[in-house]
Amino acid sequence: MSLEGIGEPYFIEIVRTYVLRNLIVLPPWAVHKVDMVVGRDLVLVEVEDTVQEIYSGTKQLWAVAEISRALNAGFLLVVPYPRDVDRSIMPIGYFFTKLTTEIPLPRKELWLVLSSGYSVIRLKLKHDSALPIAPATRSVLVELELDEVKRINELLRDAYLQLTSGKRATDGLFVAAHRHTP
C-alpha cells in the first residue's frame, strides 16, 4: 500500500504529525504580522503527495535557491513511497540533477514516506552534507552518487525491505538505520 495520491493536505498532516513530530514546524500562514522567526539551522521543506510531483516541488525549491544558499538553508522534499518504483527514476534524478548542477546546493535530501508506520527512506548524495533534522519515525539513509540515480528503483526496493523486514542491506550504500524515540 502507498500513500501516493491521498491528497496533499492529508499527506502534509501525516508528515507534520508523525515524521516531523519532534520538531517545531511553522506552516506558511502561522506567523502572520511577525517580522521574523529565528533558528540556528534552517531547512526549507516542500511536501508533495505523489512521486510525479517531485518535478513541481523541485521547481518550487529551485525558485528560492539563491536566497536559501545565502542563508545556508537546507532543502527537503518529502513524498510518499511510490506505488510503482520503476516510474520514480526520472523524478528523483530530476531533483538531484537540478539542485546539483544548475544551482549547487550542498544540503538537500529527498524523503520517501512508507504507509506502514510512516517509516522514511532518506535519499542524499554522498558529497552533500546531511540535513540537521531527522525523521521522528524509523528511517534508513541511502547515500548515492549522481550517476547511481538510474538504479534508484533497486536501491528503493532494498531500503523498503530493510525497513519493513528489519533485514540489513548488503551493498554498502545504506549507512544508517535508526529509530528516533519521542
Determine the pLDDT at residue 132.
92
What does the chain come to in residues? 182
131 is a domain residue: yes
3 is a domain residue: no
Range from 22-36, 44-58, 68-82, 134-148 carrying the lowest mean pLDDT: 22-36
The pLDDT confidence band at residue 103, using thresholds 50, 70 and 90, is confident
173 is a domain residue: yes
Q: Cell 544551482 identifies what position?
A: 103
116 is a domain residue: yes
What gap in Å lies between CA 130 and CA 86, rounded to an integer? 26
What gap in Å lies between CA 180 and CA 172, rounded to an integer? 22
Give the residues across from 143 on adjacent strands.
124
The pLDDT confidence band at residue 22, using thresholds 50, 70 and 90, is confident
The pLDDT confidence band at residue 23, using thresholds 50, 70 and 90, is confident
Determine the pLDDT at residue 24.
79
Quick check: 141 pLDDT over 60?
Answer: yes
Helical ranges in 6-133 per DSSP H? 8-14, 54-63, 65-71, 89-97
Determine the pLDDT at residue 182.
36
- Torsion of Cα atoms, 59 then 65 then 66 then 69, to 10°: -170
Asked if residue 107 lies in contact with residue 88, where contact means CB atoms within 8 angstroms, the answer is: no
Q: pLDDT higher for 52 or 175? A: 52
Residue type, 113: V
166 is a domain residue: yes
Average pLDDT of the residues in 22-46: 73
Which domain range does residue 102 map to? 8-23+42-178
Quick check: 179 pLDDT over 50?
Answer: no
The string over 21-57, giving b where at least 16 C-beta atoms fall within 10 Å of a residue's C-beta and e elsewhere, is eeeeeeeeeeeeeeeeeeeeeebbbbbbbbbbbbeeb
Q: Angle at which helices 89-97 and 54-63 pack, to 10 degrees?
A: 10
Number of domains in the chain: 1
Query: Concatenated DSSP letters for 116-132?
Result: STT-EEEEEETTSPPPS
146 is a domain residue: yes
